[in-house]
Every structure is written in structure tokens, then in C-alpha cells.
Amino acid sequence: MAKNKKGQAPQESGVARWNASEGASATAPKRPKSRSKRRLSANARRWVSTLVVLAAVCVACVIAFTPLGTSINQGLDIKGGVSVILTASKSDGSQPSSDDMATATSIVQNRVNSLGASEATVQQQGANSILVQIPGATDAETAVQTIGQTGHIEFVRLDDIGDADALLKIRNGQEDVELADGSYTAFMDGSYITKTSVAQSSTGEYVVNVSFNSEGARIFGDVTTELAPTKGQIAIVLDGVVKSAPAVQSAITDGNVSISGSFTLDEAKSLKTVLDSGSLPVTLTYSESRVVGPTLGQDSLQQGILAIATGVAIVVVYLFFFYRGMGILTLGSLACFAVLYLGLLAILSKNGLFSLTLPGLAGMVLTTGSAADSSILVLERFREEIRMGKSVKNASISGTKHGIKTSLDADIVTLVSAIALFAFASGTVKGFGLTLALGVACDIVTMFCFKAPALRLLAQHQIERHPKFWGIEEDLEEAERARSERGVKGGVAHA
């Protein structure tokens, strides 16, 4: 190798030139990253999309439960109303069968719903009683007149009535004449009715129009054809009481009949409801009725709301104290849970499928605590993964995965219990099971659609840049000490 001339700098080797170039490049100002490098990764885009969809759903839920005071139906124990116990009996004195009671309960439920009281509850009690609870109602007697009416309508020729006193009253134009049992024979009943409607006659009187099926129209047509020449009368009998007895002016073969009886609009609507739901197989009389005032229930509702607010406030303070910035994430999670929960309850209420009761309110308190608990599980597992030596990004992936899995196991157990309560319990216990099940379902949605994507997005940059604010500084230091201890032990072992 030729020697360098005197005074000339020694020629650098290739390795030295590479080191020098690396040092220069390290000190040189860095060029801004290209636009492609600043783009979100596929996973990050998926997390953002999930949060955007969840935000849209939350907006819809806010619209659904606004205003909150009227959007969620309130049960009898909160709103107040009428509670009636109806006792069933048969005309022959025998005990009603289970089929009779099931049919009667279904008919009473339909009548209550037709009156617009969709949040009412109707349930069988014992062997021969039906409990009816109508929130917001104040008159038990009026409610019973509609829902407890047997509703057995019959059409009777006047010449087939054997009660002389009743016949005299009917011929004199008297209405609501009661007929003695066995004193008349009907040529058809309400089983042929297919449609009813309320209308006003030419005189302004409210009437109930009735349409028969083809068989009923044929029977009615034959009878009216026979009575038309003599202007014979047909008595329209409802539960043994003659409502009207019009004279047949001509044959009625189209199957359409009007029932008159000096009805008010409410009475006509009530009769229509009874005819639409069909006749009861038993006679219902109310053995007990009470009007529940709303004062006690409203006080309990306010106390329940105060309990929820106090519990959430304590949980938030606890989270901010122990988890610092992570408390913001949990607060957002609880807010998202509450919006979804209230929106779901409001939607069910608008469709007549839910009424909030005091046991249901207890279920809401319990499931709110469960939602806070699931947040703590996810955060603790995330910090544990960091202490195990994983990076913040990797810990956010595996930590949320394992934390949600643990929380999901607990939620499924609670959900099964809640479904069992709703399916097999009775009365207000069903409300507790329903609110508990709905709350668990909302918590599961919140875990997958908010907790996991939000934590993973923050872990990409923000949490690692500000570990003290996010409460993971001690976890990082503990992980670093563990790595140092493993390094020292490894050095001693190989010395």
C-alpha cells in the first residue's frame, strides 16, 4: 500500500467514511415525513370508523329520549294510577278453567291496550283473579266498566222474548232494559262480527256500526226479510241488557247494522272496544280497587336518580384519583353507556313495551355499577400489560382484549340471570330483570365500540407522550426496573 505524502491527510477507510456520513445525517435537520407516512393505519381507521358510527347512534338515542321526563313510561308505583283486582265466575256457578282464565286475561289486556293505556299491566293472580294496573288513571269504576264487561252481544227477535214486563218497556221505547235469564232466545251472537266503527247518525246521536261475515249476513238477511212486511223489531242485547230494538223497515242483506242507545262518544268507543276484543268466557266483578297517588312514587324516583348520580360521581372521583387521565376515558364510557341505555328504554316505551318501576330503577342502579366495573377491569389489565414489559401500543391491544374478555364473562353470567328473572318471574320483578338485561347489553356494546377503540387510538401517541397525565408513569418505571433486574441477573450468570 502506497504511503501518504508528507503533510497530506491520511486517507480514510470506508468504515470511517460511513460513520462520518451517519453522524452528519444524524445532525442534519430531518426532512418532514411524507404524507403517506402520516396517514392512519388500517387498524386506526377502523377504530375511528367505529367511534363515528357509535357517535351517530348516540345522537339518535339522545333524540329518542328527549325530553327525558316524558319519553320513558312510568309504572304504577312511580306515576300513580288505578289498581283493580277482578274476580272471575261462571254463570252456572262452576270454577273457571285455566283456559277460561287465560282467554279472559288476554281479552282484558287487549281492551286495556285499546283504551290507550299501553303501559298497563294485566296478569292472572291465583285461580280466578286478574290484576289490572293502569298508570295515570284516576277512576277505578270507569275503568272496570270497560275492561270487565262481559261483552256478549246477541240479536233477538222481539217475539222470542218471554218477559212480559221487559216487552212492555221495550215497546214503549225504553232503553237499557234488563232481560231475565232464560226469557229469550237469540238467533245470532257477536261471533259473526268482523268489523266495528263509531259514527254519528243523521240526528247527531253516536252509534256503533257492526259488519258481519258472510254467514252472519245470510242469517241476519233471512230474519229481516221475514220481519220486514210486519215491521217487526230486533232487540240488540249486550250482556242481557237491551241497548236498542229498531223496527225492520226493509230486508238487510249486506251484513251492516247500527247499534244505537243514546251513547256518548266515550260510551260508543267503549262498546266498540268490547265488541272488537270479543266476549269474555267468564263474568268479571271487581273485588278490590285502589287509587295509588303519585307522590310516594315520585319521591322514590327522585331518590333513585340521586343514588345513581351520587354513585357515578363517587366512581368518577375514584377513577380520576387512581387513574388520572384515564378517568376521562372512563367518564366518556359511562356517558356513552347512559345515552345508549336511555335511548333504548325510550324506544321500548314508545312502542308500549316498557314502563319504569321502582324494581326497574334498582336494576338501572345495579347495571350502572356494572358498567363502571368493566371500565376498571379494562384499565387495570392495560396497566398490568405495561408492567409486564410491553410497549404502550401493544399493551393497549392485548390489555383491552383480555380485560374485555374477563368483563364479558361476568356480563354473560349477569345477563343469563336477568333473562331468567324476566322469563319466569312475575309482576314488578320482570321490570328488574328487563332493565338489568338491557343495561348489560348496552355495557357490552360500549366495551367493544368505545372503550377498546378509544384506548387503542390514544395509545398510538398521546398516552406514551404524556405518561404522567395518563397515570402510567409508575407502571413504565416498574417495567424498566424489571428489565434492569433481569439484565443484571443475566450478566452475573454469564460472568
Ordered DSSP codes for 132-175: EEEET---HHHHHHHHT----EEEEEGGGB--HHHHHHHHTT--
146: its cell numbers: 270497560
**Mean of per-residue pLDDT scores for the chain:** 81
The answer to whether the CB of 443 falls within 8 A of the CB of 337 is yes
- Alpha-carbon torsion (295, 300, 303, 308), positive or negative: negative
- β-bridge pairing 241-244 and 193-200: unpaired
- Tens of pLDDT, residues 16-73: 553 454 444 444 454 544 444 456 788 889 999 999 999 999 999 999 998 887 888 8
Q: Which of 217, 222, 218 is nearest to 232 (CA)?
A: 222
Lowest mean pLDDT among 40-44, 112-116, 197-201: 112-116
Residue 14 pLDDT more than 70? Answer: no
Q: Categorize the per-residue pLDDT at 87 as very low, low, confident or very high, splitting at 50, 70 and 90.
A: confident
- Average pLDDT score over residue span 468-489: 84
pLDDT of residue 333: 92
Mean pLDDT of 114-139: 74
pLDDT, greater one: 164 or 244 = 164
DSSP states of 347-358? HHHHTT---B-H
Query: Looking at the predicted structure, is the pLDDT value of residue 490 above 60?
Result: no
* pLDDT for 89: 86
> Of 412 and 290, which is predicted with more confidence?
412
Segment 96-103 shows an average pLDDT of 86
The full set of domain ranges for the chain reads: 46-73+294-485, 81-147, 153-271
What is the mean pLDDT of the segment spanning 128-145? 74
Determine the pLDDT at residue 152. Answer: 76
Burial zone of 313 (CB within 10 Å; 0-12 exposed, 13-18 middle, 19+ buried): exposed
Report the CATH fold assignment for 81-147.
Alpha-Beta Plaits (3.30.70)
Helix H, strand E, coil C: the string for 54-66 is HHHHHHHHHHHCC
Q: For residue 141, what pLDDT band results from cuts at 50, 70 and 90?
A: low
- pLDDT for 24 equals 46
Residue 394 pLDDT: 92
Kindly state the cell numbers that stand for 173: 221505547
pLDDT tens digits, residue range 234-281?
888 887 888 878 888 888 889 888 877 777 888 788 778 767 766 677
pLDDT of residue 19: 47
Instruction: Give me the mean pLDDT over the 429-455 stretch.
Output: 92
Of the CATH numbers 1.10.10.10, 1.20.1640.10, 2.60.40.10, 3.40.640.10, which one belongs to the domain with range 46-73+294-485? 1.20.1640.10
Instruction: Examine the pLDDT at 10 and tell me if it is beyond 60.
Output: no
> φ and ψ at 80, to 5 degrees?
85, 165
The verdict on pTM exceeding 0.85 is: no
Q: Does residue 412 carry a pLDDT above 70?
A: yes
Between the CA atoms of 216, 217, 218 and 223, what dihedral angle is there, to the nearest 10 degrees? 90
Give the cell for residue 281: 268466557
Architecture of 153-271 per CATH?
Answer: 2-Layer Sandwich (3.30)
**How many percent of the chain have pLDDT more than 70?**
83
